[in-house]
Amino acid sequence: DETITSKMIFLCTGSKPIIPPIKGVDKVGYLTSDTVLKMNRLPESIAIVGGGYIAAEYGHFFSAMGSKVTIIGRNPQFLKQEEPEVSALAKKELEKHMTILTNHEVREAEKTSMDKKRLVAVNRENGEKAV
């Protein structure tokens, strides 16, 4: 498992926001692609759950605005709907400005000290934790 610490958690799991079954996510609060633009202030850091084009778009946006961004996707390939070469190039370029974890499943969300939230993700290939 891997734990990611962030001020905000942003779920980007498809065209119609689907809230994945993440233990504790309902208790810590989250944003979706439909609600994220209603924020009144830029987050210092943001974790984006989802590895598709919506996650990439919002990740790029928040990174360009100055937020520290981590994208966590379940699939082995970032932007799985794209050709592997396009996906690899997009990931390489975006990783210059943010962290992108592929083949990871977010298992738990919890509040930490200093009003931050933490996600625990597991690498689906080797079982290692990401925090």
pTM of the model: 0.84
**Residue 8 carries which DSSP code?**
E
Examine residue 4 and state whether it is found in any structural domain, yes or no: no
Q: Read off the pLDDT of each residue in 65-82 and give the average, rounded to a whole number.
A: 95
Examine residue 123 and state whether it is found in any structural domain, yes or no: no
- Report the percentage of the chain scoring pLDDT > 70: 94
9 Cβ neighbours under 8 A, 6+ residues apart: 25, 28, 29, 30, 31, 46, 47, 49, 109, 117, 119
Examine residue 29 and state whether it is found in any structural domain, yes or no: yes
CATH at 77: 3.50.50.60
Q: What is the pLDDT of residues 21-59, one digit of tens each?
A: 999 999 998 998 888 888 999 999 999 999 999 999 999
Q: Residue 123 has what pLDDT?
A: 93
Question: Over the chain, what is the mean pLDDT?
Answer: 89
Q: What is the pLDDT of residues 84-100, one digit of tens each?
A: 999 999 999 999 999 99
The domain tally of the chain equals 1
Examine residue 120 and state whether it is found in any structural domain, yes or no: no
Examine residue 129 and state whether it is found in any structural domain, yes or no: no
